[in-house]
Structure 1
Amino acid sequence: MPTGVALRDAREQLFAAAERILLRDGPNALTSRAVTTEADCAKGVLHRHFDDFDAFLAALVRDRIGRIDGQAAALRASAGSGAVVDTVTDALMTVFGTVAVTIVGLVISRDGLRARLRQAGSSGVPVLGEATAMIAEYLAAERELGRIAAQADVDTLAPTLIGAGHLLFADREGGPPTAAAVHKVVTTVLAGVTREA
């Protein structure tokens, strides 16, 4: 006898369930049974769509990386408008205000997942690498517009901003930082390189 409810888009419902578990309970609580229970579906649904649980997790990570790619395009398009520090602050709040921090913890804690992502061409730490590239591309666009100093090393500034942002958001017990706290970090990192009026 079937259990659970009918799933219209099983993959997305399973991803959403995994994301809720990650946000609520952290990477250690993420199991195939926990995901299917959270999605209110039979365990076989997950295995009907994915070869195994690591394949599911790899697809989840790639899906969330795709969201960063969409954000990156919007961020690049915003170059030249608004204050650079405000724009970078908003970008960090968006990236780390989602499931990104727990995805990083998940990738770090699961050897099989890391191996699968590397086979698919990922390097470094997935999500953090894409977020770093997003910030670097934005800063480079602002440098071309003269709003960032010509000598600014955006390839150093971007990972510095992502690393600092990750540290601010990584404390699962203390809650997320305020926008003011993130803004202060961005202002400090970009001090001396912004050329805005």
Structure 2
Amino acid sequence: MPRGVATPEPRQQLFAAVERVVVGEGPSRLTSRAVTREAGVATGLLFSHFTNFDEFLVGYAVDRSFQLASAVAGLPTRAGSATVTENLSEIGQALPLDALVTMTRLMAYRPGITAGVEAVLGPGSAGLQPVERAIARYLAAEQQLGRVPASADPEALALIVTAVLHHLLLTDGTSPLAAGRLHRAIAALTDGFPTVAQ
């Protein structure tokens, strides 16, 4: 990029480049040079905002963890609408897919990033952890309405749904098959749940 040309929202431009690199090539290919090349900017731009590459990756993970938490914050309010299976299946569609895939793969590849995110946002705030908590709150709300059996454990069910989502993100990535596989898994998990409030 020529000198003197302003870069719009440079942090977000760099964060989007992280996602393209990780989704397209995998986290092992993630370097400062790969990110800035993908973003179409000089390497110095990254280091004008972050002290080092590790700080940059934590900054990315903080930003996207906050986005993921915001995207699922309203899930408990859906209790009583549609069906439990449909509401849980739509989680994958409500969340930004490239960010989900990148966060899952990046945090598996560089687990130290979790501590960096939690140092900023607090315990249990990194990656899919807020998603798991939102699912648990949603299922507890549905249980109060009688659409989840009284004998069910909402936290355990939330962990299972999150584990399935995590597996699909690591294996299927952005493949359109992932949504269908998620729906099938959730349908099997919720088979026999009441479809109307009791």
Question: TM-score range with shorter-chain normalisation?
Answer: 0.7 to 0.9
Which residue does the alignment assign to 1:57?
Answer: 57
Aligned ranges 1:152-171 → 2 under 5 Å: 152-171=152-171
Q: 1:185 to 1:4 in 2, by over 3 A?
A: farther
Aligned ranges 1:133-172 → 2 under 5 Å: 133-172=133-172
AA matched with 1:21 = V
Q: State the secondary structure of the residue aligned to 2:147.
A: coil
* 2:190 is equivalent to residue 190 of structure 1: yes
Q: Count residues with an aligned counterpart.
A: 196
Q: 1:30 to 1:125 in 2, by over 3 A?
A: farther
AA matched with 1:73 = A
Q: In 1, Cα distance between the equivalents of 2:104 and 2:173?
A: 16
Q: In 1, Cα distance between the equivalents of 2:111 and 2:88?
A: 32
Q: 1:117 to 1:33 in 2, by over 3 A?
A: same
What displacement does 1:91 show? Answer: 0.4
Q: 1:74 to 1:4 in 2, by over 3 A?
A: farther
Q: 1:148 to 1:83 in 2, by over 3 A?
A: same
| C-alpha distance after superposition, 1:102-151 (max 9, x if no partner) | 32221222255344335446557931212211211111121222221222
Q: In 2, Cα distance between the equivalents of 1:132 and 1:96?
A: 16
Q: 1:143 to 1:174 in 2, by over 3 A?
A: closer
Q: 1:146 to 1:34 in 2, by over 3 A?
A: same
Structure 2 segments unaligned to the other structure (5+ residues)? none
Contact 2:98 2:174 in 1 (8 A): no
Pairwise CA RMSD: 2.6
Q: In 2, Cα distance between the equivalents of 1:5 and 1:191?
A: 57
Q: 1:54 to 1:164 in 2, by over 3 A?
A: same
AA matched with 2:186 = V
Aligned ranges 1:17-166 → 2 under 5 Å: 17-95=17-95, 97-110=97-110, 112-120=112-120, 126-166=126-166
Q: State the secondary structure of the residue aligned to 1:99.
A: helix
